Amino acid sequence: MKRLSSKEIPVTETLETPKEELTTGSTFAERYQIIEELGKGGMGKVYKVLDKEVNAKIALKLIRPEIAADKKTIERFRNELKIARDISHKNICRMYDLNKEEGSYYITMEYVEGQDLKSLIRQTGQLAIPTTISIAKQVCEGLSEAHKLGTVHRDLKPSNIMINKKGNARIMDFGIARSITGKGITGAGVMVGTPEYMSPEQAEVKEVDQRSDIYSLGVILYEMVTGRVPFEGETPLGIAMKHKSEVPQNPKEINAQIPDDISRQILKCMEKNKEERYQSAAEVLSELIRIEEGIPSTEKVVPKREPKTVKIGEIKWKSLILYGGAVVLLILLIVGGIFLFINRQSPIESIAVLPLKNLSGDSEHEYFADGVTEALITELSKIGALRVISRQSVMRYKGSDKPLPEIARELSVDAVVEGSVLRAGERVRITAQLIRAVPERHLWADNYDRDLDDILILSSEVAQIIAREIQVTLTPEEQTRLASVRPVNPEAYELYVKGQYHYFKWKKEGFEKAIEYFQKAIEADPNYAQAYALLADSFCWLRYLGYLSLKEAYSRFNPALKKALELDDTLPEACLTLAEIRFYIDWDWVGAETEYKRTLELNPNFAWAHAKYAYYLTAMGRSADAIAEAKRALRLDPLSYPANRAFCWVHIVARQYDQAIAQYQQIAELEPKNPRAYNGLASVYEQMGMYEGAVKARQKAMSLSGAKPEEIEALGSAFRESGPNGYWMWRLERLKGQYARNPTSAAENYAQLGDKDQAFAWLEKAYKEHVGPMVTLKVDPAWDPLRSDPRFQDLLRRMNFPD
């Protein structure tokens, strides 16, 4: 028998059979543990899974084999997903990746807990008008953001909108529909869109744009208020053709309780000619807000009653008086009720001062407008009954054109203050207006022309006017504090706000520049308490960051702080700096808490003080109190990194790692180009022993910081070759230049490597210098490898930590 050469031996290909479903409890792609099936649709089944690599729950959509078999479809979807992943909005579910495993394509995306809108409609039959408007507004906001980025949904429907227990809406599956091809809407092809919700142009297989999504939104609105879709049929083709040719029944004919404005809006969304529809989601949102403002609490259809016929001669005067009096009383009750309804508003308990606009025409005066914004926030913050959002969060809206209701919702406030500042020589004009957020309504507006030296007095006056307008009762102490503001030296004030501008950059260079301006402000006005307070705090920051020795720091901040307190011992900023010195430098645990509490008595809305007090409580081992305080800080400063980071830290110490991870992920969404959230995530993964996640997070942070590709790869190589030890060796080498000013970093790395002698050598250096991070020695999980060593217990004893 002739033997075949290797070239003649036929090759047998191993064909992978794509999966059509996944089993609960199994692990898919060696990474995703299947928790439960969430549902199925045209593309395939969706599962809730645990991503074991990052220890987070996500959604996984397993694509049907017949769809996945079309390579062009998959490639189109891959390209579309690149765009969809750029959409970051609170009303849109985030898309992650398209991958292939065991012959099956699958999509990973954010998991949104709740129920889909379709299920909600089935449960209730018809949604209440306020509920409908609330959901529709959120969908409009999500669509508006996606449309700005050039992405059209193409398959918007109630089953693609998730509603959580709080009524928050999230749009699902952005970027999927466009990638699915078909040869029509019958047969084996897969159609683009769902017949009940598709626009006429989709039915005709024409090019679509954002107005197609608006048509689908109109159908969804129709279904929410009537409990049924406008067009039904026996086949998908029949339904689609009705969208193209038939006029929908007026929804008010189905549900008489629907306001006329809502009916008109729905029908305008569903115009056959897309030129006659609303042209953007923002237009629909604006109309929804207008309609919402005009809807009464109830709109009842009162049955008509047949009038009783009475002969004139039968009417008795007594009866006439009784009936007439009853009618008059009824009219008075109705009018009174209407009056009470119109004037009844939920109390305003929270407020945000948006960045005041600089009208000077000179960009160099931006710092001045920011300073006036800060002054107004400071004065309002003295009112304990009012929750006032901090500067850090509101400054994110500088130059923003977001609608006020959206800003209010993001900051969770009842009202906002907005306005402008015009600086002309030694005169300043401030225009301010108070606006209730939902429904949007102007409550008060005024403008003021003052000399520059009255700027702080004016801020106090405006704060008191706002308190009066929203009917907040001031305590005698608050009245005294608001009335105690004094005139300022114009030159000193200008230098002070310039220093503030640099101080809030929270960087070494910023603090150094701030110090220069605060010192010049003090030269111009030797009695300027606020300038002394922030000067002292700037030196404290440089000390905490390791740029000043202990001896040098004392010589710098002590005189400034002492002077600030001599001039004004009720200044919250000065009291907070004193608390920080007691805590981080003196290790005076009792004295520190006294000063933190004093600070918060003087300014209950001081977000940074709440955050720092949370750090103190954590260091003392009082995790429950620390978490509560961190939550208060976050409510006052929801968009700033310091408040978010404090929230993460207290949960790390409490070993509640899931909450810390979730919060760091939110920070990453808030600041997608900032590396610090990813460094924070890496630190959590380190404590959990999830080094693959730590490596990826560090690499992401390095990439955002501009590290070279070979530097990023070096971390991956170190971990692949030597595991966790390789990871810590890499960190030890990379951070070596920072150890002199922050010896606790060196100690932590050596502790993780098991080199206890080196770890304690560096801890002794940190102890002698009273380095800031030493205050967390008792509770930080990073020190767990050293806790059983007698030397560690001796350190705790010498630092006099409370039991």
Catalytic center residues:
155
Long-range contacts of the stretch 506-513 (C-beta < 8 A, 24+): 506/541, 506/642, 508/542, 508/545, 508/547, 511/538, 511/541, 511/542, 512/542
Q: Is the peptide bond before 604 cis (omega within 30 degrees of 0)?
A: no
- Chain centre distance of CA 698: 23
Reported as half-sphere exposure (CB side, CA atoms, 13 A), residue 741 has a value of 13
Long-range contacts of the stretch 732-741 (C-beta < 8 A, 24+): 738/546, 740/546, 741/545, 741/546, 741/547
d(CA 354, CA 433): 11
CB 214 within 8 A of CB 281: yes
For the CA atoms of the chain, what is the radius of gyration?
Answer: 32
CB 377 within 8 A of CB 390: yes
Region of 44 on the Ramachandran plot (φ > 0 left; ψ -120 to 50 alpha; else beta): left
Rounded to 5°, the CA angle 628-630-632 comes to 75
Rounded to 5°, the CA angle 627-629-633 comes to 115
- Got the DSSP string for 583-631? IIIS--HHHHHHHHHHHHHH-TT-HHHHHHHHHHHHHTT-HHHHHHHHH
DSSP letter at 92 equals B
Phi, psi of 29, deg, nearest 5: 60, 25
Tell me the helices (H) and strands (E) count for the chain, helix number first: 32, 15
d(CA 268, CA 273): 10
Using alpha carbons, select from 614, 131, 639 the residue that is nearest to residue 354: 639
Using alpha carbons, select from 269, 270, 281 the residue that is nearest to residue 146: 281
Instruction: Indicate the pairing of strand 415-424 with strand 357-358.
Output: parallel
Distances (CA, A) of 174 to 92, 142, 155, 336: 8, 10, 8, 49
Question: In three state form, how does the secondary structure of 762-787 look?
Answer: HHHHHHHHCCHHHHHCCCCHHHHHHC
Give the burial string for 611-636 (b: 16+ CB within 10 Å, else e): bbbbbbbbbbebbebbbebbbbbbbb
d(CA 783, CA 684): 14
CB 517 within 8 A of CB 502: yes
d(CA 228, CA 429): 56
d(CA 555, CA 563): 13
Tokens 């002794």, residue located = 764
Using alpha carbons, select from 92, 168, 90 the residue that is nearest to residue 131: 168
* Burial category of 344 from C-beta neighbours within 10 Å (exposed 0-12, middle 13-18, buried 19 and up): exposed
Rounded to 5°, the CA angle 162-163-165 comes to 145
CB 243 within 8 A of CB 210: no
d(CA 265, CA 453): 52
d(CA 204, CA 200): 6
SS3 364: helix
